[in-house]
Structure 1
Amino acid sequence: MDLTALTLSAGVVALAEMGDKTQLLSLMLAARYPRQALAIIAGIFVATIANHACAALLGHWLTTMVSPDVMRWILGLSFLGIGLWLLVPDHIDDVAGSKAVDRVFQVFLLTTGLFFLAEMGDKTQIATIALGARYDDVISVTMGTTLGMMLANAPAVWIGQKFTKRVPIKWVHVVAAITFIAIGLATLIWA
């Protein structure tokens, strides 16, 4: 275990995550599913490990298969889609007869998928690729970058959960939707 690689990776990613779109996604998911904090955190963890462990290979493959302009359009339209999706009322917690375990699993899968996609081409994924190239111990780098993501995003889930108790959920959804739509438009307009 390379402690330098682990601690540097954790610090770099934790700092890079501050105010990042995935931290906003953590807040949004916590606001949308306030009783599912553990499922959200577990989804963030699984998505981060999967994404960061594959970052170097996937990053290389994407750059050989998809131009930066195409990737920008994919990301920009994805953010617009998430923003519009936030405006649609969700009934995952209102499904009659649905078991609590099913809801937890649904939120876990949703979080895992969204986080994995949100990390594509993100600065923390690029940092993971660079750290993987710098240090031979890919496991230490992956553990460190995952720790950094958790340090930045787990508190965002807890804050988002507390925030929704004081602010109407409809307003939280509208603000989050506007933010994601703005990020999507900025991604499409400014390269």
Structure 2
Amino acid sequence: MIAALLLSFGVIFVAELGDKSQLMAMTYALRYRWWVILLAITVATTAVHAVSVFFGHFLGLSIPTALLSVLAGLAMLIFGLWTLRGDRLDDEESSRATRVGASVFFAVMSAFFLAELGDKTMLATITLATDNDWLGVWIGSTLGMVAADALAIGVGVLLGRHLPERVIAIGAAVLFFAFAAWLITDGLIGASVPVIAGTLSAVVVITGVGVVLIRRETRLRTHDSARALVR
């Protein structure tokens, strides 16, 4: 078990370096509390690698990932629009703080879970589980990915301390949109025309709703600022 754990840790840690998951972790850390991001990544990684070990060790099968890649891309698009919209916590809304934190946790966890399904780290974990102790592979692969993403989170925290809030929000949104395009394109390669049409329609609808909400939020902030000046 120890040998499988160490082998899996090393393989997944190296495979994760420079991967989109590291970039995602850094992007989230620019905007939100590092411990929430790390906890969400840990939960998502534990679940994904449990699935990987199950398929690799017990079934010896792989899973279709095109649809999951598209869903992950749509999740990235939503989170990018959410980042541009921002969260308002005035005196009357302070009680919402814990709910906002919970929503960030579940959003990050879901995004990482979907993004990792079919990723090279998942495929590597499946391969390792076919010939090694499944428990060692599960623990080692999970720790390896969490460790690599923790490095990216550290970088994001350091950058966030030296950048203005609006710059961080715009930069994070741009990265989320890039992830969305990356994942959706990857998922649509070789897809049928109805699937492509449905995905593009979903992109248009999500973008349209997001723009409306962003404009509404901007008007509300402008109104609040004007009211504060009057006072």
Please give the range of the TM-score, normalised by the shorter of the 2 chains: 0.7 to 0.9
Q: Measure how far apart 1:84 and its partner are.
A: 5.5
1:18 to 2:13 alignment: no
State how far apart, in whole Å, the 1-side matches of 2:35 and 2:2 are.
Answer: 28
Identity over aligned pairs, percent: 34
Q: Of the two structures, which has the highest relative contact order with CA contacts closer than 8 Å and spacing of 6 or more?
A: 1
Give yes or no for contact 2:8–2:144 (8 Å, CA) kept in 1: yes
State how far apart, in whole Å, the 2-side matches of 1:4 and 1:57 are.
Answer: 19
What's 2:170 paired with?
A: 171
- Give runs of aligned pairs for residues 113-152 of structure 1, distance below 5 A: 113-135=110-132, 137-152=133-148
Q: How many positions carry a matched residue from both structures?
A: 182
Letter in structure 2 aligned against 1:72:
A
What's 2:193 paired with?
A: none
Listed one character per residue, the Cα deviations across residues 1-50 of structure 1 (whole Å, up to 9, x for unaligned) are x22111110011111111212112211211221xx211111111111111
- Give runs of aligned pairs for residues 9-158 of structure 1, distance below 5 A: 9-33=8-32, 36-57=33-54, 68=64, 71-76=65-70, 78-79=72-73, 81-83=75-77, 85-88=79-82, 89-92=84-87, 94=89, 96-135=93-132, 137-158=133-154
Q: TM-score, normalised by structure 2?
A: 0.67
State how far apart, in whole Å, the 2-side matches of 1:174 and 1:120 are.
Answer: 22
Three-state SS of the structure 1 residue aligned to 2:176 is helix
State how far apart, in whole Å, the 1-side matches of 2:146 and 2:88 are.
Answer: 25
State how far apart, in whole Å, the 2-side matches of 1:93 and 1:11 are.
Answer: 42
Which is richer in helix? 2
Q: TM-score, normalised by structure 1?
A: 0.80
Listed one character per residue, the Cα deviations across residues 149-173 of structure 1 (whole Å, up to 9, x for unaligned) are 1111012112112212333213322
User: For the pair shown, which has the larger CA radius of gyration, 1 or 2?
Assistant: 2
In structure 2, do the counterparts of structure 1 residues 182 and 101 end up closer, same or farther at CA, with 3 Å as the change threshold? Answer: closer
Three-state SS of the structure 2 residue aligned to 1:97 is helix
- Unpaired runs of 5+ residues, structure 2, are 191-231
Q: CA RMSD in A?
A: 2.8
